[in-house]
Amino acid sequence: MTFIIKHKPVNKMYKVSKMKPKQLKSKKRKSLKTKAPSLLQNRLRLSKKQISFLNEVESSQPQPENTHLIPGLHFLGCGYNIFGSYADESAILERLIDPNKIKQWGTTPQGSKTYAHWPFVKFIKKSKALSQTFSGKNLDSMCKEMTKKAGISGSYCGFQGSVNLDTYKSVSKSYYHEWYRKLSIIQKWQLTLDNPTQIRKFLYPNVAKAINNWEPNKLFKRYGLYFTDGVILGGKFSYTSAIDTYKWASKDEMNLAVKASYFSFVKSSASYTSTTIKNKYESSSEIEIETVGGDNIVGGDSISNSQSYQNWKNSIKDEDITLIDFTDGGGLTGIWELASTHSRRSYLQQKAREYGEKMEDKYGFNPLGGRKLVDYVIKIKTGNSKYDDTDAKVLARLVGIDRLGIRRVGLWENLDTVKNDRERGKTDEHYIDKHEDLGELIQIELYHTEKKDAWVCEWVEIKNKTNGKTYSARVNKKFKHNKSLISLTEE
């Protein structure tokens, strides 16, 4: 088992400068005659892009006196790389909204404080912890669950950057690995654009020019296919596991093992059903744990049990928050919606779909094949009555459904390999070595080659010696130069 624990500091995508704040200011700004936002009191904790944003906010329309700038405003109205990480500031691209075009502030009291915000922004102060689970039969299908949660249209797969390929490189395109991502989300703030398309009139001039005039691929590469319109801020504990399903006969048992492992970190009472299951899970899985937000001293590899998890959770304060999720129903809007004409919006939407499909082909994790070779044993019982036996050849081929739901048909196998087989009342065994794994067997097709005499098959049984699963069927059928497809049931 590979097991990695790490902490992503807030603003991890940018190098946090150690220069004094004055050295980071690109231009002289007007002095404010208002109370400074609490975020400005701790500028060395912020990234260069955030400081640039706050400078622009201050130098535009001064916020009302005795107010605090709403935390996380810089995450709204930004281009977003949907092929990067899910709900993560590392995927934030260029800001689209020009603060200098916003001539007035909205103010909203919240408890003992009054917060200043753009008039088209709604916010909710939250104190909520919840869990989310994304899963998939392969990495692509798990990423598609995240794509759907973010409200992204189209059938392509986003958020491939959510998985650390340094950890999962050997299994990212595995045919047999099932994926789980369990999140413990500590919500502190929710910010949304009241009407996402309303920001058309507040775009930077160069952004508006790009949206309305640039070649689509150039536009999407710089600003993304989507922009943020609803964000959740706080802290996030992420548990990702890739499990070799071939070692598990029961999916329910495997699911319980995943929950037990996850709960061993976030709950005080969690246990495996047995030591055998625990060892089996640990030997068949690749696991990575990550914390975002909160105090990095108590996050990351400091978390080993529910108490250390609670210590990290308690460290998530308003000043140690970051982007952790999108709002229900989406959180992202297509950048084409910001074009000034209907025809340009329709054109960009079509080109965005084509661009997304190309990106999926380039960076997706569709399994490359590489199915295991397994050993099958086929047992066939010939009828007891006179003339039920045969000296002719009997051929068989197996049919299965693989773990991705694809029907797999094996090659015809000659079962006439033993002298005096298919004798009346006898059971014959046939070994098929190194056959491509067909998944869950659903059928066997039998073919009796004799044209004159018939052969009666009473029952058939197939065992996958590699994973121990057995399938069987009552046949009780006469074969005379004909084929028959027989349904199997797992014993």
pLDDT greater than 70 at residue 308: yes
Percentage of residues in the chain having pLDDT higher than 90: 46
Q: Do 128 and 202 sit in the same domain of this protein? A: yes
Asked if residue 177 is part of any domain, the answer here is yes
Number of domains in the chain: 2
State how far the Cα of 386 lies from the Cα of 400, in Å rounded to an integer: 34
* 261 and 196 fall within a common domain: yes
Neighbours of 19 (CB within 10 A): 9
The 3-state DSSP class for residue 73 equals helix
In a domain, 231, yes or no: yes
C-alpha span between 240 and 4 (Å, rounded)? 10
Instruction: Compute the mean pLDDT over every residue in the chain, rounded to the nearest whole number.
Output: 83
pLDDT per position as a tens digit, 319-346:
668 999 999 878 999 999 999 999 999 9
Residue 416's H or E segment, with its range, is: none
Residue 167 in any domain: the answer is yes
Q: What is the rounded end-to-end Cα distance, in angstroms, of the chain?
A: 31
Domain assignment of residue 175, yes or no: yes
Highest mean pLDDT: which range of 6-20, 85-99, 213-227, 467-481: 213-227
- C-alpha–C-alpha distance, residues 477 and 202, integer Å: 77
Domain end residue (candidates: 344, 363, 382): 363
113-117 and 68-69 as β-strands: parallel, antiparallel, unpaired?
parallel
d(CA 366, CA 429): 38
Q: What is the mean pLDDT of residues 62-73?
A: 80
Q: In what order do the strands lie in the sheet with 427-436?
A: 427-436, 373-382, 455-464, 470-479, 489-490
Q: Are residues 408 and 319 part of one domain?
A: no
Whether 258 maps to a domain, the answer reads yes
Mean pLDDT of 148-176: 77
> Are residues 396 and 349 part of one domain?
no
Q: Which of 12-21, 191-200, 278-287, 362-371 has the lowest mean pLDDT?
A: 12-21
- The pair of structure tokens assigned to 14 is 């940018």
Say if residues 165 and 206 touch (Cβ distance below 8 Å).
Answer: no
Query: Does 429 share its domain with 486?
Result: yes
pLDDT in tens, 392-404: 889 999 999 887 6
User: Which residues, 6+ apart, have CB-to-CB distance to 135 below 8 Å?
Assistant: 142, 145, 178, 179, 180, 181
pTM above 0.75, yes or no: no
Q: Are 397 and 479 found together in one domain?
A: yes
In a domain, residue 12? The reply is yes
Residue pointed to by tokens 């929950």: 259
Q: Per residue in 358-416, pLDDT tens?
A: 887 776 666 555 677 889 999 999 999 988 998 888 999 999 988 767 788 999 999 88
The pair of three-digit structure tokens given for residue 351, joined into one six-digit string? 């080109």
- Would you place residue 467 in the very low, low, confident or very high pLDDT band (cuts 50, 70, 90)? confident
pLDDT tens column, 417-427: 777 788 999 99
Q: How far apart are CA 486 and CA 8, in angstroms?
A: 55
For 209-236, the pLDDT digits (tens) are 999 999 999 999 999 999 999 999 999 9
Task: Tell me the percentage of the chain whose pLDDT exceeds 70.
Answer: 83
294 and 219 co-located in one domain? yes
Q: Is residue 368 part of a domain?
A: no
**Contact, 308 vs 285, CB < 8 A?**
no
What are the beta bridge partners of residue 379? Answer: 429, 461
Q: Based on the fold, state whether residues 356 and 411 are members of the same structural domain.
A: no
The pLDDT confidence band at residue 15, using thresholds 50, 70 and 90, is very low
Strands (E), 229-307: 230-244, 285-292
* pLDDT at 395 (0 to 100): 92
Q: Domain span at residue 408?
A: 373-490
